[in-house]
Amino acid sequence: MTLSDDAVRFAASYTEITRNPSYLQLLTVPRHGSTNTYDHSVRVAQLAHRLAPKLGIDPDSAARVGLLHDFCLVDYHKNDKDSGHDGRWYCFYHPEDAVKNSLAAGFPLSRKEQQAIRSHMFPLASSVPSSRLGCLLTLCDKAIAAQESFAGAAESYVRFKLLLSLGSARAVRVVRRNTYDRFFG
């Protein structure tokens, strides 16, 4: 699943984050079976930025928490037991890592923005969204995650059908060859 032209343009309006070398490493971290964490974050940020004015939320703040909410370089598809998180599950520690990594990379975050990021995995989180910004981020993240997971499932289904049709085409060829051999061989 690739970024739309709109999303690419949106990312270009936040180059202080989206062109940062450590943030760009998110391109190598897969997400939801069809995308990577960089593209996922851009989609979440774009949706949050679009919805924010309707809810009386600062769109710039919504974009920033969207871009930074998953700023954790651990690939949860692999065994992450040795990632220095004391055996905790990814869903609980990656929002905390995202805040730490954002501040370490020089992206300032207000207390409210930090809290929104920490609680974005609600109900699988150690805190509950306590602001409109937090609720918006949580909902946008889930909506985009569902869309990406569905795209991943659809791609797998198409691949499966393709393999199946290749398999049946091969079976037809074998049957034809055997029939030919039996009568004309």
Phi and psi angles of residue 36, each rounded to the nearest 5 degrees, phi first: -125, 170
Q: How far apart are CA 129 and CA 69, in angstroms?
A: 13
Task: Decide whether 57 or 99 has the Cβ nearer to Fe ion.
Answer: 99
What span, in angstroms and rounded, lies between the C-alpha atoms of 144 and 139? 9
Verify binding: residue 97, Fe ion, rule CB under 5 A.
Answer: no
The span of 65-73, 110-118, 127-135, 158-166 binding Fe ion (CB under 5 A) equals 65-73
> Cα(121)–Cα(102) distance, rounded to whole angstroms?
17
CB of 181 to Fe ion, least distance (A): 57
The piece of 16-24, 69-77, 99-107, 161-169 that touches Fe ion (CB under 5 A) is 69-77
129 and 57 in contact (C-beta within 8 Å)? no
Of 70, 80, 96, 97, which one interacts with Fe ion (CB under 5 A)?
70
Question: What does the DSSP 8-state code read for residue 162?
Answer: H
Which CB, 100 or 173, lies closer to Fe ion? Answer: 100
Total residues binding Fe ion (CB under 5 A): 2
Task: Enter the tokens of residue 11.
Answer: 């990312």
Single out the residue of 96, 97, 141, 148 in contact with Fe ion (rule: CB under 5 A).
141
Tokens coding 74: 């651990």
Pick the closer one to Fe ion by CB: 57 or 140.
140
Binding site for Fe ion (CB under 5 A): 70, 141
